[in-house]
Amino acid sequence: MENEFISVRTPGATHRLVLLHGWGADGDDLIPIGKELIKGLSEIKMELIALRAPQNHPEGFGRQWYGLFPPDWDAVPASIEQLTARIKAFSTSSIPLENTFLLGFSQGGAMALDAGCEMKLAGLICCSSYPHPKWIAPQVSPPVLLLHGEQDQVVPIEASRKLFNCLKLNKIDAELVVFEGGHEIPQNLLLKLQLTIMKWIVKGE
């Protein structure tokens, strides 16, 4: 796939933030949010990687991780396997998987959780996400931050509540932040994301 990711390099980076966009968006969709997050983590040198979903959106613009309307759930396992391989390919001695954070929105959030729970990452941020039908909460997982708008008309907030309850049942380090709003990542919650990332970094040292 051409231009399968967008990279914002940081000289001497010790950590990495990987972004997974939502259904119908493209690799550059979350770049502004990613840049703001990194800007607020000035004491941490972090590179930014925004992945492009592998499939063209059926309407002819944007991308998708798998068909969603109607949902092609049978394609999810292969999509997760491919995504896992792509993320692992970025691992280096200077920025290993253990220093990599994964942030996904909507369909990208569902992919982040499904793939990320099985990898030794520094943390997962899943915004307006939902569980895949065959997803099972793991016994061991990186810490998870769930973000969801109370008035989300695209992915109902019950989806994140279900994820949170399943994770906590298995004693996974998980937090659910509910905000006034819809299918979005509010600017006023970027500080919360930054503080959470810093907490995970300190805890992992």
Query: How far apart are alpha carbons 47 and 34 in whole angstroms?
Result: 10
C-alpha to C-alpha distances, 5 to 51, 77, 114, 130, nearest whole angstrom: 4, 21, 20, 24
* Amino acid 3: pLDDT: 67
Query: How far apart are alpha carbons 129 and 147 in whole angstroms?
Result: 8
Cα maximum dimension of the chain: 45
Tokens of 139: 């016994």
Stretches in the chain below the pLDDT threshold 70: 1-3, 205
pTM of the model: 0.95
Structural domains in the chain, sorted by start: 5-204 (3.40.50.1820)
* Amino acid 204: pLDDT: 74
* Amino acid 189: pLDDT: 95
Position 175, amino acid: E
What residues does 19 pair with on adjacent strands? 50, 103
Whether the CB-CB separation of 181 and 151 falls below 8 Å is answered with yes
Query: How far apart are alpha carbons 100 and 107 in whole angstroms?
Result: 20
Tokens of 80: 């997760």
Residues 6+ apart with CB under 8 A from 118: 84, 138
The verdict on whether omega for the bond into residue 70 sits within 30 degrees of 0, i.e. cis, is yes
- Phi/psi for 166 (5° steps) reads -65, -40
Quick: pLDDT tens for 76-109: 999 999 999 999 999 999 999 999 999 999 999 9
